[in-house]
Copies of this chain bind each other. A is one copy, B any other.
Amino acid sequence: MTIREMLEAHPQSTSGDLDAVVGCVEACSDCAAACTSCADADLGERDLPPLVRCIRLCLDCADICDATRRIVTRQTASDAGVVRAAVEACVVACDACRQECERHAEHHEHCRICAAVCSRCEQACGDLLVSMG
């Protein structure tokens, strides 16, 4: 994947564990994409009212994942407190979004996929936090 090549070509060594950083960046990227698409797929469903909360949480999760992806990607002059705060917010957003998507997973395949992607992102964020000590 491109992000691993980019980080390996970076003039400064990766702050923390390279695998954990790459895993978090890729998971945030995937999760932002899934949440943007899930909110949009919800909006295209016939029975909209039960999906309003899902749309809302997917929009929030996409916004946090995109911000977190950018912050974790950056390796120059990192502030560990800022990285940690962003990744922790991402865990909370992914967890809330996953729970809501799971409620619709039986009826909507896009919610089922999105819940799984949120779960992987939550895990990857948690792994990065652990690796940061």
Contacts and interface: CB of A to CB of B under 8 A. Distances in A.
Interface string A92-121: 110010000000000011100110010000
Contacts of A67: 63-64, 66-67
Interface residues of A, number: 65
Contacts of A74: 36-37, 40, 56, 59-60
Contact of A69 (B33, B73, B89, B109): B33
A56 to B, nearest CB: 4
Number of identical protomers: 4
Contacts of A114: 6
Interface of A: prevailing SS: helix
Nearest to A8: B109
A15 B55 CA distance: 18
A130 interface: no
A6 B6 CA distance: 27
